[in-house]
Amino acid sequence: MRLLSYNIRYGGVGREAALAAVINAGHPDVVVLQEATTPAVVEALARATGLEHWGAKRGESLAYLSRLRLDHVEWRKPRVSRHAFIEIVPAGWAWRIIGVHLSAVHAAWTEQRRQYELRALLLAIQQHQHGPHVLIGDFNTVAPGEVFDFTKLPGRLRALVWLSGGRIRWKTIQGVLDAGYVDAFRRLQPELVGYTFPTWDPHVRLDYLFVPRPCINRVSRCQVFSANEVRDASDHFPLIAELN
């Protein structure tokens, strides 16, 4: 199963053709979209890509496209979360897909909020945590040990960093790892930086795919999809993976 995660930026209105070209170039079976707040755009993408099964909710960030028939789709919003996460179960597959979009803005207090959101998410899917599943999407945070250059941020965001203490202790991704998950991109490609944002000056990795540690050998591919079609379609590069 080829899985693609893609933040389409501000609903994707007016960029449907460019976004569809990116998705078609990736040849996915299932697509998890973030910032897909306009169902008409998701419907247009379904038509343009031939991914006939689709779903979106106005105002909700997470949406999906699928070539595969689905047994179950559900949006679930823990009380502390800004965005609902989406749970997708393709028919005939053991894998369960959990689409994620954590709160944005790089500041100490939003990193704390992302930690709360992560804990709520893990609690909500606790019954599935021993089976094969993925957490995939825009986590809006930096992994432990990876460099984040604050000078690349716009002035207003640099100001927020300093107002919140001048330093962010990146703990959200460590929380995912401590819960028994493996960062599939980093495991498969430890030598690559894997920046996913922004497309015009990539300098930070915000998009991830995590699987439970016993399932990591069933991920045969996880890479940043940086084909030429991507740069004008959105501000994020998609992440593409293959699950066995």
Kindly list the structural domains of the chain, giving each domain's residue range(s) and its CATH number in brackets, ordered by start. 2-243 (3.60.10.10)
Residue 62: what pLDDT? 98
The gap from C-alpha 124 to its chain's centroid, in whole angstroms, comes to 18
* pLDDT-flagged residues of the chain (< 70): 105-109, 147-169
Indicate the pTM of the whole model: 0.91
pLDDT of residue 165: 45
| pLDDT tens figures, 59-92 | 999 999 999 999 999 999 988 888 999 999 999 9
In the block, tokens 């999906």 appear at 64
Selection from 242, 140, 240, 155 nearest residue 198 by Cα: 140
Residue 185 confidence (pLDDT)? 97
Across the beta sheet with 85-90, what order do the strands follow? 70-76, 85-90, 96-101, 133-138, 207-212, 181-183
Question: What's the confidence (pLDDT) of residue 81?
Answer: 86
Q: Report the distance separating Cα 93 and Cα 66, nearest Å.
A: 13
Q: What's the pLDDT at 161?
A: 44
Cα gap 142→45, rounded to integer Å? 30
**DSSP secondary structure string for all residues of the chain:** -EEEEEE-SGGGTT-HHHHHHHHHHH--SEEEEES---HHHHHHHHHHHT--EEE--TT-S-EEEESS-EEEEEEE--TT-SS-EEEEEETT-S-EEEEEE-----SHHHHHHHHHHHHHHHHHTGGGTTSSEEEEEE--S--TT----GGGS-HHHHHHHHHTTS-----HHHHHHHTTEEEHHHHH-TT-----B-TTS--B--EEEEEEGGGGGGEEEEEE---GGGTTT-SS--EEEEE-
Distances (CA, A) of 107 to 67, 110, 147, 157: 38, 5, 15, 8
pLDDT at position 151: 58
